[in-house]
Amino acid sequence: MADPVAIQDEIAVIEKRIEELQTQLKDAKARLQQSREESLASGPGAHLSPEDKMALIKVNLQEVLNPEIMDEALKKQGHLKVYWGTATTGRPHCGYFVPILKIAQFLAAGCHVKILLADIHGFLDNLKAPIELVKFRAEYYRFTITALLKAVNVPIDKLEFVLGSSYELNSDYTMDLLRLASITSEAAAKKAGAEVVKQTENAPLSGLIYPLMQALDEQYLDVDVQFGGVDQRKIFALAKDVLPKIGYKERAHLMNPMVPGLQGGKMSASDPDSKIDVLDTADAVKRKLKKAFAPPKVVEENGVLSFVEYVLLPAGALIYGSPKFVVQRRDAEPLVYTDIKQMQDDYVNDVLIPQDLKPAVTDALNKLLEPVQREFQASKEWQEIETKAYPPPPAEKKKEKKKKDKGAFHPGAARKVEAKADGHVEGVDKDKVDVGTESGEKAIEGLTLKEGEA
């Protein structure tokens, strides 16, 4: 029989060594951070004045909380550290261009942008899937987001991807999460997630933990600002309130408006044409946009016009140096726009008609997607990740028995899948976005762009 005392000594030695290495690791990470910050002193945005930087950062935003925090950080560091999080679940579609354009502007303004690939959430929402699959998805997101940013011609050397699981399971993070849970009421956590986490009668507890983690991420990602859709407002308010209570500083918050989806209010989740994948062919884009909801003279909830406002015009500014959107017409001179106001006026007055607008948007979008697709075709690695992240469904296999096992404690089943206009994918329905081998395709179908909350 082995000697327990000897084993205990062995354990003590190993534990001590791990502790030492963890101190070294912390030190190395701090040095890396320092080194990165130093390299950011030059680079994109360096030629801009603080005022110009702030103006570019604020373009198209609906709301800015605590701009004084940004002003101060900008003065001190010369640049801002911004974080945006996205759960790595379904395939990114063209709705992702909306937050991506803001991120492109942040980068152009010299910000150090950290994109949180929230794999923990992806895993949490997909309990039946192995963690490995979600990691592939995070990789797929990284490839896609990088390509989308390159497509709008923005330098990405100040872009950093951080995998949620790389720090969200560490003991210091967990301890802080528990501390937050002890000073945050159930009601406050519920309220904070009300517009982000799907509200059902039998909601899972994880939905209440979610906002606390998102708040804590601001501290652990070491940023000045968190960016998200205006639907995140209550989570941002929670973060502002609770971080100082556990000894961390309050951050600024930037919010995009809720932008209607390209197809407007007329699509359904079961319609395969209801979203445009960023890897769709030019023909597919054309076909899907033909179906898009863009009634004549109506500007409100018009997803096609909104796409021009929040994606194509700012993309033009980044790619060509100034915003410009050209609409060819059959029997008249082309319409050339440099701002959305004139476009909306023309649309209301039926000068700009849907029949002319849609082909123009189709062309512009295909121009944006072309380099993305080219990069995908050229990258064996990305292609392999795609297959691993979204495996094709095998032959039909019913497994009706599984349902019975859920029992009394299983949270409600009726959860809709939504990709918010800021790119967050929320309220994921396990059945629809199951990442298991059987429902990879379902997961894709289930992903729709959130509409009409602007």
Interface residues with a copy of itself (CB under 8 A)?
A: 1-4, 7-8, 10-11, 14-15, 17-18, 21-22, 24-25, 28-29, 31-32, 34-36, 38-39, 120, 124-125, 127, 169-171, 174-175, 178-190, 202-209, 212, 238, 241-242, 245-246, 405-412
Q: How far is the CB of 175 from a copy of itself (least distance, A)?
A: 6
* Minimal distance, residue 252 CB to a copy of itself, in Å: 19
Token readout for 190 is 């519920």
| Choice between 333 and 400, CB closer to a copy of itself | 400
Least gap, CB of 138 to a copy of itself (angstroms): 15
Which lies closer to a copy of itself via its Cβ, residue 221 or residue 258?
221
CB of 144 to a copy of itself, least distance (A): 23
53 or 432: CB nearest a copy of itself: 432
- Is the Cβ of residue 36 or residue 374 nearer to a copy of itself in the bound state? 36
Matching residue, tokens 């192995």:
130
Q: Which residues pair with 254 in a beta bridge?
A: 64, 227
Task: Report in angstroms how near the CB of residue 405 gets to a copy of itself at its nearest.
Answer: 7
Rounded to a whole number of angstroms, the minimum distance from the CB of residue 33 to a copy of itself is 9
User: If DSSP codes are grouped into helix, strand and coil, which group holds residue 327?
Assistant: strand
Nearer to a copy of itself, 127 or 332 (CB): 127
Helix (H, G, I), strand (E, B) or coil at 353: coil
**Closest distance to a copy of itself from the beta carbon of 250 (Å):** 12
How far apart CA 448 and CA 454 sit, in angstroms, is: 16
Work out the end-to-end distance of the chain between its first and last CA atoms, rounded to an integer number of angstroms. Answer: 70
Question: Residue 137 is which amino acid?
Answer: R
* Nearest distance, CB of residue 433 and a copy of itself, angstroms: 13
* Residue 430 structure tokens: 């396990």
Which amino acid is present at 42?
A: S
- In the complex with a copy of itself, the residue whose CB is nearer, 215 or 278, is 215
Q: DSSP code of 272?
A: G
Minimum separation from the CB atom of position 152 to a copy of itself (A): 25
Q: How far is CA 448 from CA 274, 315, 419, in A?
A: 7, 23, 6
Q: How far apart are CA 149 and CA 397, in angstroms?
A: 39
Helix (H) or strand (E) holding 386: helix 380-389
Kindly tell me which of 117 and 343 has the beta carbon lying closer to a copy of itself: 117
Handedness of CA 361, 326, 63, 177 (dihedral sign): positive
Residue closer to a copy of itself (CB basis): 17 or 297: 17
Three-state DSSP at 63 gives: strand
Residue holding tokens 């700012």? Answer: 314
- CA dihedral (272, 276, 280, 282) positive or negative: positive
Q: Tokens in use for 87?
A: 């759960």
What distance in Å separates the CA atoms of residue 160 and residue 156, rounded to the nearest whole number? Answer: 8
| Tokens representing residue 143 in the block | 């490839």
Q: Toward a copy of itself, which CB reaches closer, 93 or 137?
A: 137
Cα-flanking dihedrals φ and ψ of residue 239, to 5°? -60, -45
The token pair at 154 is: 């923005």
